[in-house]
Structure formats: structure tokens, C-alpha cells
Copies of this chain bind each other. A is one copy, B any other.
């Protein structure tokens, strides 16, 4: 663990936090190296040494975003019933995508829903990331059925996809400027269609 060579003058995680912010606001293709290095207060070669390239920076930014900004998902999945999972998920999602002094919406959606063919790997990566998140809910709802807390007539995959669809929609609305109370009402209505 001996740090050989000249020590880095910036904090990698702090720089990544700035990168998250820029990608969140501008998306992958809408973010230039100059935008990144300005926001991160580091030089281009420093970015390349620390993160590989623009794509590497984005992937690590997504990782940090999932770890930090989407930690409420862990809390939601830990709720005792499927219903409580859904409630906690939607309600904290609304909070997360409408935080003051933060970009509106969700990085994993705003980052790049579509893109130039040369950036297809980014689009695929984001799709897979969201799919992985959805899969956690599938497993959680299957567990709820196994535990008898959710009717066996429900389809865990359908419920997970329903919630993922609603949160995606909420993120789009938030990015367009919808207020937190408005989105909270939408979330409550969406919960009305979730089994009790």
C-alpha cells in the first residue's frame, strides 16, 4: 500500500462527484472533456490517468451515483413487505429527483437514452444498469411471495417493471421542471395500483 511516485493533488472521489454533476445535467454526449476538466478542476492528462477516458469517467460516475444518490433503493428493498418496499421506493425516488441545488431527474436516465452509434455502448450500459436495478425488485417481490406477504397470483417481474416505469416517468417529469408536490401526488396515485 506504499504510495510511490508523486502523490495525486486532487481527491479522486471528490472529482468524480463533480463529474456526476456535469453528466447528470448534460448527459454523456452533451458533456465535453472541457466541461469535465473545468468542473473537476483537473487537467486532461490527470483525468485520463485517473479514469481512463471519457467513457471510463462516465462509467465510474454512474457507479458513484448508484452508490451515493440511489442508496435509498437499498433501504427500500429492506422494508418488511412488498407494499412497504414500493411505497418507500417511489416516495424516496420523488425526493431524490427533486433535491434543491442538485440537477433534476435521474442520471441513469438523463445520461443517455439514445445516442450516436459510436456511443451505443454507453446507451447499452445505462439500459443494463437500470435493468439490474429492476432485477433486484423482481427478486424482492418473489421473496415477498415466498414469505406469503404478497399474493402468489402477482407477477414479481410485472410489479418490478411497473415501478421502474413509474420512476422513469417521474425522472422525465422532474427533468422538465415538475415540482416535488406534484410528483408526490403522481407517486401516490401510482401506488394505488400496487397490491396491498
Which residues of A does B touch, CB under 8 Å?
A: 24-27, 29-32, 35, 105, 109-117, 119, 127, 130-131, 155, 157-158, 161-162, 164-170, 172-173, 175-178, 182-183, 185-186, 189-193
Contact = CB atoms under 8 A, between A and B. Distances in A.
Given A26-B114, A31-B116, A110-B113, A190 B162 contact: yes
Given A27-B115, A193-B190, A127 B161 contact: no
16 contacts: A27-B112, A30-B115, A35-B116, A109-B113, A110-B113, A113-B113, A113-B172, A158-B185, A158-B186, A158-B189, A161-B186, A162-B189, A164-B169, A164-B173, A165-B169, A192-B192
A118 to B, nearest CB: 9
Given A35-B116, A111-B114, A127-B176, 16 more contacts: A29-B29, A30-B119, A109-B172, A113-B113, A114-B175, A155-B185, A157-B182, A158-B189, A162-B189, A165-B166, A166-B169, A167-B169, A168-B173, A169-B170, A190-B193, A192-B193
The copy count of this chain in the complex is 2
Contact of A172 (B155, B172, B183, B191): B172
B182 A189 contact: no
Nearest to A35: B116
A94 to B, nearest CB: 11
A127 B177 contact: yes
A173 B178 contact: no
A29 B47 CA distance: 23
A116 B158 contact: no
A164 B185 CA distance: 13
A182 B161 contact: yes
Contacts of A191: 193
B25 A114 contact: yes
